[in-house]
């Protein structure tokens, strides 16, 4: 099929961009390396939009949370990722978590259902010299294409490590020790909690420090970690209490197994390991915040010292992969186009956004931008007061190029509201964003009429 636009990469961003273009009638060639005999260090299969780390899209609260607001905005724009996410949703309190296999299958089914979208299993080694293109190869871009991008941008690629959390079989967890609850009992009893005493916690931290780690190659040694996905052993190196104020925080979790006449609801343990449902069947649970670069045998030994996980069976152990991203404020324009080669757009995590939802959101915007350009229409970006606009502005110019780092969506990227009380500020941000997005959508509709 002759195509109007070529999308390279079938992850969340590439799939979302293909959906936005395909449902508008454009002929799309979607190239995905996996399934052609090639793979990456982190992927398990060849399905489109495979989730390689957590199965969570984080908070779905669109009144108090920036990523929840981003969910809302994407739904308003008929996001494929949000549509498939609803179909694959599993319990996770106020968060949006999905069965990763159901999610990937739903994305692939919807795209395959568009007759004008051609999914091709092939590796692309170089940037094209001409023709509308979106590169959405993500943080695991193949070396040959990464080299071509580096040559085209004239900049050295930046990189960081992204670690993968282990997944445990539910029936191997000892529920006479662990219990079901959400913090402060908010959102239902959606998490499995494993309690640790002070002695158990201190022994666990020491085990993290002493455990055998993955050996880095020479070229990887100076690669920085992304703060939002820090391996637990690296956090432990920052101090003995760091984990207790991070992923092992016990606050708001009453242990019913420790109930006494004085404290009938139980007491907070010294530390807690939480597990979140990973599939619709509820048979797989991932260890929240436990991304790690420990060697596999060391993980099994150490994680089985956690109360409730003494006999844990692991469906997947933690891992580590190298992520690559562009210095986007320097090399991309306000429409995500490569300066000097404007027929090429970039989308997703390769632009320096961080997180599944953010990656898909940038893919959504890249698809809409390309559709406007192919139609000869003027493109106007979402207002910076919206989550989409704030994220786009950060990637394409608001951030300092010299210190550019991957970023999740957060209210710090939004134009400030200094006259609003701090306690009411989050709600004010979301109300302003929703109103401004509605006006932007109305203007787009009027322009198309």
pLDDT by residue (tens digit) across 363-375?
999 999 999 999 9
Same domain, 195 and 126: no
- Domain identity same for 195 and 314: yes
Instruction: Choose the weakest-confidence range: 214-228, 255-269, 380-394.
Output: 214-228
The pair of three-digit structure tokens given for residue 401, joined into one six-digit string: 């190029």
Asked if residue 12 belongs to a known ligand binding site, the reply is: yes
Judge if 149 and 179 occupy the same domain: no
Last residue of a domain, one of 322, 349, 375: 322
Residue 233, pLDDT above cutoff 80: yes
Identify the CA nearest to 347 among candidates 133, 126, 57, 74: 133
11 is known to lie in a ligand binding site: yes
- Mean pLDDT computed over 110-122: 97
One domain, residues 30 and 144: yes
Q: Tell which phi-psi region holds residue 120, choosing left (phi > 0), alpha (psi between -120 and 50) or beta.
A: beta
Instruction: State percent of the chain over pLDDT 70.
Output: 95
Query: For position 266, which CATH number holds?
Result: 2.40.30.260
Task: Tell me the three state secondary structure of residue 13.
Answer: helix
E strands within 155-229? 158-164, 167-169, 179-181, 191-196
Which one is predicted more confidently, 420 or 17?
Answer: 17
Q: What is the mean pLDDT of residues 215-243?
A: 80
Q: Give the separation between CA 3 and CA 370, rounded to whole angstroms.
A: 13
Distance CA 353, CA 367 (A): 16
From 295, 322, 349, the end of a domain falls on: 322
**Distance separating the N- and C-terminal Cα atoms of the chain:** 30
**What pLDDT, in 10s, does the model give residues 163-213?**
788 999 999 999 999 999 998 877 678 999 999 999 999 999 999 999 998
Q: Does 333 lie in the same domain as 251?
A: no
pTM of the model: 0.83
The dihedrals phi and psi of 437, each to the nearest 5 degrees, come to -65, -40
The encoded tokens of residue 116 equal 């004008």
pLDDT of residue 298: 95
Same domain membership, residue 254 and residue 399 = no
- Same-domain status, 9 and 153: yes
**Is 228 annotated among the ligand-binding residues?**
no
Same domain assignment for residues 310 and 222: yes
Q: What is the CATH number of the domain that holds 349?
A: 3.50.50.60
Beta-bridged to residue 21, according to DSSP, are none
282 is known to lie in a ligand binding site: no
Asked if residue 145 and residue 53 are part of one domain, the reply reads: yes
9 known member of a binding site: yes
Closest residue by Cα to residue 322 from 137, 139, 55: 139
pLDDT averaged over every residue in the chain: 91
Domain of residue 221, residue span = 164-322
The predicted structure's pLDDT at residue 155: 64
Write the pLDDT tens digit of every residue in 63-79: 999 999 999 999 999 99
Q: What is the mean predicted confidence (pLDDT) over 51-59?
A: 91
Q: What is the per-residue pLDDT for 446?
A: 86
Separation in Å, CA 407 to CA 67, 179, 225, 249: 12, 34, 12, 23
219: pLDDT strictly greater than 60: no
- Tally the domains of the chain: 2
Q: Do both 382 and 248 map to the same domain? A: no
Domain identity same for 312 and 337? no
Give yes or no: residues 18 and 82 share one domain: yes
Residue 84, annotated as binding a ligand = no
**Torsion sign over Cα 315, 99, 353, 29:** positive
**Segment 133-147 mean pLDDT:** 89
- Identify the pLDDT of residue 220: 60
**Which tokens belong to 81?**
């990722």
Q: Among 305, 322, 339, where does a domain finish?
A: 322
């Amino acid at each position: 099929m002759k195509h109007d636009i070529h999308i390279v990469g079938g992850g969340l961003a590439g799939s979302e961009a293909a959906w936005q273009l395909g449902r508008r009638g454009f002929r799309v060639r979607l190239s995905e390396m996996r399934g052609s005999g090639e793979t990456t260090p982190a992927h398990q299969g060849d399905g489109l939009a495979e989730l390689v780390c957590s199965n969570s899209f984080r908070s779905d609260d669109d009144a108090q949370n920036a990523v929840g607001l981003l969910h809302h905005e994407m739904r308003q724009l008929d996001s494929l990722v949000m549509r498939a996410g609803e179909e694959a949703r599993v319990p996770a309190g106020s968060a949006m978590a999905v069965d990763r296999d159901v999610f990937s299958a739903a994305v692939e089914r919807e795209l395959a259902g568009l007759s004008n979208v051609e999914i091709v299993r092939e590796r692309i080694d170089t940037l094209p010299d001409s023709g509308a293109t979106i590169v959405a190869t993500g943080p695991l871009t193949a070396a040959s294409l990464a080299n071509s991008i580096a040559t085209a941008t004239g900049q050295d690629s930046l990189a960081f490590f992204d670690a993968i959390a282990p997944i445990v079989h539910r029936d191997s967890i000892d529920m006479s020790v662990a219990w079901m609850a959400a913090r402060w009992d908010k959102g239902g009893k959606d998490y499995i909690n494993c309690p640790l005493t002070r002695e158990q916690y201190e022994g666990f931290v020491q085990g993290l420090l002493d455990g055998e780690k993955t050996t880095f190659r020479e070229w990887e040694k100076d690669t920085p970690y992304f703060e939002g996905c820090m391996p637990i052993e690296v956090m432990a190196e920052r101090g003995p209490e760091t984990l207790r104020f991070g992923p092992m925080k016990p606050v708001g979790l009453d242990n019913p197994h420790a109930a006494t006449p004085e404290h009938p609801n139980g007491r907070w343990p010294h530390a807690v390991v939480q597990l979140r449902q990973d599939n619709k069947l509820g048979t797989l649970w991932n260890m929240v915040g436990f991304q790690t670069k420990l060697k596999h045998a060391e993980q099994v030994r150490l994680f089985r010292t956690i109360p409730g996980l003494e006999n844990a069976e692991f469906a997947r152990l933690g891992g580590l992969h190298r992520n690559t991203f562009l210095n986007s404020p320097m090399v991309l324009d306000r429409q995500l186009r490569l300066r000097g080669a404007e027929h090429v757009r970039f989308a997703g995590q390769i632009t320096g956004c961080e997180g599944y939802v953010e990656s898909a959101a940038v893919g959504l915007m890249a698809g809409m931008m390309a559709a406007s350009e192919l139609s000869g229409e003027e493109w106007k970006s979402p207002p910076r007061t919206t989550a989409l606009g704030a994220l786009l502005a950060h990637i394409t110019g608001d951030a300092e190029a010299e210190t550019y780092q991957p970023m999740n969506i957060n209210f710090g990227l939004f134009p400030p509201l200094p006259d609003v009380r701090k306690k009411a500020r989050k709600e004010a941000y979301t109300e302003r964003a929703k109103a401004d997005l509605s006006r932007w959508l109305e203007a787009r509709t009027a322009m198309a009429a």
